[in-house]
Amino acid sequence: MASIGRALRRPWIVPFYVVVFGFLLSRLPLYVGFDPAKSTAPTRLDLPFYYPLLVAHILFGSVAFVTASIQVWPWLRNRNPKLHRISGRVYVLGGALPAGLAILTITPFLTHGPGQKAGNALLGLLWLGTTIVGFRRARQGRIVEHREWMLRSFALCFSILASRFWLGPAILWLEPEVFTMGVDGPPAVQDQVSTLTSWVPWVVNLLIAEWFNHRARYKALGRQAAKRAAAQTGVAQDAVPPVASGSPAVPTGAAVLERPAPDPVP
């Protein structure tokens, strides 16, 4: 019953895992065989290193997906901190860092113009940067800052998944002609769609992460203010001297109201 209660308090957990692992199961089989013909991402067969690095990015990125999903599970973080630390190290060293380096290596050779290249390059740099800073904050024992930076890293990690949610509305708003021409239309349209794909998902995710961080800081400040107020109230109560035994009590409240009125002055 306790587990059911925790799940009800966090109703996003089960749908989140269903979406993450459903995405991995639908995409990984296309790349584990190292067959460029099955790739849904554009490939450069004229560059021998391009496809192996693309596959490396996807495989290491899948490791980052799984371990990040473990990291955001509050129950595991609180009940099994050792597994939380281990999965965190795997996320950093076996997921985010190699996946980020792989995508940065092939970014200059992308085929849909400078907008796509700039978006992917900035995403890769931010993913590496937030991950490294978050890892260092954990090593330094600065846990609050560690959680903030890792939340940013996770937001960037899941940007490819978020593109399935944010990209449609973004295209409808910014490039509605895509719905009439199709993504396989003229090269200019393909470049525009690729540019939106390279920017919108991670920017929106990062904004959401910053909102969560701001809310957490605001709540922490509220708790600190409440503790200070409670402490000051306790000090004020301790400062009031107790009534000595045998001394007349100071009338308060109803006792004051019940005191008879003084006789009028003649």
Q: Which of 162, 134, 3, 153 is nearest to 76 (CA)?
A: 3
Give the burial class of 238: count Cβ atoms within 10 A of its Cβ; 0-12 exposed, 13-18 middle, 19 or more buried.
exposed
Phi-psi region of 246 (alpha: psi -120 to 50; beta: other; left: phi over 0): left
Q: Which of 58, 41, 206, 196 is nearest to 116 (CA)?
A: 196
Q: What percent of the chain has pLDDT over 90?
A: 43
Domain residue limits, the chain:
7-225
Query: To which residue do tokens 């809310």 refer?
Result: 215
Q: What is the mean pLDDT of residues 78-106?
A: 94
Q: Write down the pTM of the prediction.
A: 0.77
Q: What is the mean pLDDT of residues 146-157?
A: 96
Q: What is the mean pLDDT of residues 160-186?
A: 70
Lowest mean pLDDT among 9-23, 184-198, 234-248: 234-248
Give the model's confidence band at 259: pLDDT under 50 very low, under 70 low, under 90 confident, else very high. Answer: very low
Give the model's confidence band at 238: pLDDT under 50 very low, under 70 low, under 90 confident, else very high. Answer: low
Lowest mean pLDDT among 106-110, 130-134, 163-167, 247-251: 247-251
Which long-range contacts link 139-144 to residues 24+ away (Cβ below 8 Å)? 144/220
pLDDT at 260 over 80: no
Lowest mean pLDDT among 84-93, 104-113, 193-202, 243-252: 243-252
CA angle (99, 157, 74) in 5-degree steps: 125
Cβ neighbours of residue 77 closer than 8 Å, sequence gap 6 or more: 71, 84
Q: What is the mean pLDDT of residues 230-247?
A: 63
Q: What is the mean pLDDT of residues 205-223?
A: 90
Cβ neighbours of residue 15 closer than 8 Å, sequence gap 6 or more: none
User: Who wins on pLDDT, 11 or 47?
Assistant: 47
pLDDT at 255 over 50: no
Q: What is the mean pLDDT of residues 104-117?
A: 92
Contact 197, 147 (CB under 8 A): no
Chain centre to alpha carbon of residue 262: 71
pLDDT at 229: 81
CB atoms within 10 A of CB 18: 10
pLDDT at 96 over 90: yes
pLDDT at 77: 80
pLDDT at 102: 96
Q: What percent of the chain has pLDDT over 70?
A: 78
pLDDT at 1: 47
Give the model's confidence band at 262: pLDDT under 50 very low, under 70 low, under 90 confident, else very high. Answer: very low
DSSP labels, 166-207: HHHHHHHHH-TTHHHH-TTS-HHHHHHHHHHHHHHHHHHHHH
How does the average pLDDT of the chain come out, rounded? Answer: 82
pLDDT at 5 over 80: no
Handedness of CA 20, 121, 168, 182 (dihedral sign): negative
Q: What is the mean pLDDT of residues 81-110?
A: 95
Which long-range contacts link 3-12 to residues 24+ away (Cβ below 8 Å)? 6/75, 10/74
Q: What is the mean pLDDT of residues 91-106?
A: 96
Separation between Cα atoms, residue 209 and residue 153, nearest integer Å: 9
